A and B are shown apart, each in its own frame.
Chain A
């Protein structure tokens, strides 16, 4: 087995372990509570069905007996007679989660009217991904550009300013800056809407433009709060590489400075940059959940915020699970890119 295989197997196992452990943790914390809720629901369903139906009984005892047996049958059918950690229940839960069967929400419905947690989350997910991916792409481009520039002229005034910006933007809560942006651009100057939920229905042909217009303010906030620390990371690793002999040799050969920095320098500085950026991405992921809530962006983060407000447990668990999945997969992908870029991992 070559080194890259070993690396990939290790990362895959780690990913699976994380997903599995999240599952076990949520089940361990929640198992008994959800079981209680489900059992109550079964009882209520049975009694309601009986009250609305036209079954006749000879005595109250007979009626009670009928209700009890029906409830017992249903509980058994759902597997609620066993604790959550019994093997069958547990395997069932995992299979259910594997197909994203996350149960029913108590308070929320999707735009199409379904209260199925999967439908609700899958409807919100594209918007979260739209905001998060586009902001990440913009930040990457700006970060690489500025970082490369600064690495070329270390300890210039711009460099110091960027370092200060990076330190302060990482200690400022990005969602608070979002609130200030709303105050500035929605209250003082009426340029953008205070609530980034599009007013048009999704079926409208102009919906997408409305959505993009609403996206500007949260997007700008995420970019402003993110780009300087990216530039700082890029600059930090690039500055080291640019001092190396082979880069100096390239410059001496007469290759344009820009090409040396962005093509040769960046390529060699890429692996550590990617690792640091994976970490930065992870923390901005948490930040953007809250950014969504601040701007009322109709994505998963906003749903999370609302679900916590009314304690809609199925939604909270569903989003925790889905976001863990996304997060773990993102980390895995950055690991793959790392393995691809770093020759030391490939050589066995």
Chain B
């Protein structure tokens, strides 16, 4: 490699990083790559695989706004949805007269304008013939201790030595209502016993939320040394959750948005790379060979050019399949047409240049001439075309997903919007369900469009 080529490359790079739009594009792209890395390393893979499984999202709130909306509000804050798992609990174990007591204590600092919408306590325990007893009490900030639940777990199956039992206690449990009856006299005003979450989180003097630190003790009395408490938890229902809120199916939208980034980048880059390469070789073959080959190949190109892509894509994904790899394949079928046309006309110009004639006279084969002398000339254009083809690929995939034909096993931004549209999110004002996925599609497209335009204008300047 000679010095001139190296310095030419350096100036090209210099030009690129001094075009404003190109830099903006690169910055957006870097953000997307960071999102991808974050998704791959920090968002659990299970949440990605279980995206369309409603059972996985049962602990989450329905249609909750993002938590940060509280900062934009004046006055009282909306209660945040709180999910506490065993990791956040402090565990104490004591042993007395053959009975071991396991206590999981959950500490919640509650500072909101209204009580939780409900609460849930999931638990699971392993035990033998004598079922353990579960007793739950809430230590309120005002020092009052409410025993809300006290009951034995159901007996094991006969003959089973080790029985694992999972259950959830809901705030609507009749035992909780009964137990709270005892504390009614502490309040100066009438209590609605069907809403224990209100009573537990209210002041005794007048109807208002009692803010402060609550301690939920979930205490298991185990009567055999082999009995164990597997998991416990505490979920306080709220109307805001997480950085991006949740949707109608209780899914954490942040998971979908983050995992959407690698999926979109994969689709966009694979489709554009493959279709531009196919188009490049196809166009050069047509332009370089000329005559009959050119005519024939260009008729096929004309044919694809006048086929409406979307309806055909719809038919193919309805009838053949919707896996993401198939969709990528379908998009490539319609992706190569434009590049083929442009590279053909460029090949027509280049093939008449003297050095090509010379190479041919020296007896170089057609394939060698194409790959050694023509393609290198078209590389800058190819690079620009690849970048410029990405937005179209991402938009088309999003359109297919939006029509309900996306890969059902993974979350994509288009699918999130499809579900938002089915649930009429726009008319119901659930903006957090609509704005982020669409913005991500647009930004991803924009990044590549800007980069492509920057490369194109640099190469145009050079060719002038």
Contacts and interface: CB of A to CB of B under 8 A. Distances in A.
A171 B446 CA distance: 6
Contact of A183 (B417, B431, B446, B450): B431
Contact of B445 (A172, A293, A320): A172
B424 A286 contact: no
B314 A170 contact: no
In this complex, the interface size class of chain A, counting residues with CB under 8 Å from chain B, is: 35 or more
B428 interface: yes
Given A173-B399, A176-B441, A308 B306 contact: no
A323 B417 contact: no
Interface stretch (B5-13, B192-200, B357-365, B400-408): B400-408
A18 B312 contact: no
Contacts of A22: 307, 312
B310 A289 contact: yes
Interface stretch (A52-60, A186-194, A202-210): A186-194
Interface in A1-41: 14-15, 17-18, 21-22, 25-26, 29-30, 33
B318 interface: yes
A304 B320 CA distance: 18
B391 A183 contact: no
Contacts of A282: 308
A186 B431 CA distance: 13
A147 B319 CA distance: 43
B426 A290 contact: no
In this complex, the interface size class of chain B, counting residues with CB under 8 Å from chain A, is: 35 or more
Nearest to B428: A187
Nearest to A29: B319
Interface in B274-322: 299, 302-303, 306-312, 314-316, 318-320
Contacts of B384: none
Q: Is the interface of A mostly helix, strand, loop or mixed?
A: helix
B267 interface: no
B306 A320 contact: no
Nearest to B316: A29
A211 B410 CA distance: 39
Interface in A299-313: 304-305, 308-309, 311, 313
Nearest to A194: B427
B421 A286 contact: no
Given A183-B426, A327-B308, A293 B421 contact: yes
Contact of B403 (A180, A188, A308, A327): A308
Given A21-B303, A26-B315, A173 B426 contact: no
A324 B311 contact: yes
A194 B428 CA distance: 9
B449 interface: yes
A19 to B, nearest CB: 10
A179 B419 CA distance: 12
A293 B435 CA distance: 18
Given A30-B319, A308-B403, A170 B311 contact: no
B318 A168 contact: no
Nearest to A195: B427
Interface string B382-406: 0000000001100110110011110
Closest 3 A/B residue pairs (Cβ): A171-B445, A176-B438, A194-B427
Interface of B: 299, 302-303, 306-312, 314-316, 318-320, 391-392, 395-396, 398-399, 402-405, 417, 420-422, 424-429, 431, 434-435, 437-438, 441-442, 444-446, 448-450, 453
Interface of A: 14-15, 17-18, 21-22, 25-26, 29-30, 33, 167-168, 170-173, 175-177, 179-180, 182-183, 186-188, 194-195, 282-283, 285-287, 289-290, 293-294, 304-305, 308-309, 311, 313, 316-317, 319-320, 323-324, 327-328, 331
